[in-house]
Amino acid sequence: MGALLGVNIDHIATVRQARYAKNAGSINVEPDPVEAALAAERGGAIGITAHLRQDRRHVVDHDIFGLKEAIRTKLNLEMGNSPEIVAIALKVLPADVCLVPESREEVTTEGGLDCITHRATLEPTLKAMAEAGIRVSLFIDPEPRQIGAAASLGAPVVELHTGAYAEASGAKRAAELARLMEAARQASEAGIQVNAGHGLNYENVKPILALPKLVELNIGHSIVSRALFVGIEQATREMVALLA
């Protein structure tokens, strides 16, 4: 089976911020994440993912509003469950939000959201998003207890964290793939849409396509890395072909 591709443009913003962190919203600032998103759409992406972090280390507020205005597919806003970012999401009204854990110390999102520990704070956010017509995905590790918690919260989508699989090799990678397979089966049987992402690239993505009822993969760093040599549109097209 294949899967649909959402392209994460965070690292386009990372390159911009390396030089223009103090004036990212000014004119003649490059590279433009919105321009990258439009190229990814031309390459076959069915959505654009961007993570608005509390520290604004890459994507900033005007990027999110610009993406919502410009793209023709859908915006998937990755976000921590903080009141400030929740308020922005309810103003932007993306098609999807993906709730992720967030630590200022990490370079990128590491590990899944603990839906058990944080249930009390997740519930009102899921309710507010649903009332606003925003579909919520929970970014979780492939663990039965987390799938169960996502189901009990009424989450329509989970994004299975594939980082442990991507970082493993040999027998350990096979074991991580088996964990993902079982988590996908459990989620789909609970009526939850199965998405996946983190650490996936042109080499390790194919086995992930065997996940039961897999709908969508969100991939960023690998596509942006490939784009240095062939451009965003072609890099996206190549990944789409792998997923088909």
CA separation for the pair 100, 109 (Å, rounded):
7
- Domains of the chain, by residue range, sit at 4-243
Q: Which residues are catalytic?
A: 51, 78, 198
User: What pLDDT does 22 receive?
Assistant: 83
CA separation for the pair 128, 136 (Å, rounded):
10
Please provide residue 209's backbone torsions phi and psi, each rounded to the nearest 5 degrees: -65, -15
User: What pLDDT does 213 receive?
Assistant: 97
Q: Tell me which CATH code domain 4-243 carries.
A: 3.20.20.70
User: What pLDDT does 104 receive?
Assistant: 56
User: What pLDDT does 1 receive?
Assistant: 59
User: What pLDDT does 150 receive?
Assistant: 98
CA separation for the pair 6, 228 (Å, rounded):
19
User: What pLDDT does 179 receive?
Assistant: 98
CA separation for the pair 54, 79 (Å, rounded):
8
Give the H/E segment covering residue 72: none
CA separation for the pair 146, 140 (Å, rounded):
7
pTM greater than 0.75: yes
User: What pLDDT does 242 receive?
Assistant: 97
DSSP, collapsed to helix, strand or coil, labels residue 29 as: coil
User: What pLDDT does 110 receive?
Assistant: 65
Which stretches of the chain score pLDDT less than 70?
A: 1, 103-110
CA separation for the pair 242, 205 (Å, rounded):
8
How deeply is 70 buried, as exposed, middle or buried, from its count of CB atoms within 10 A (0-12, 13-18, 19+)?
middle
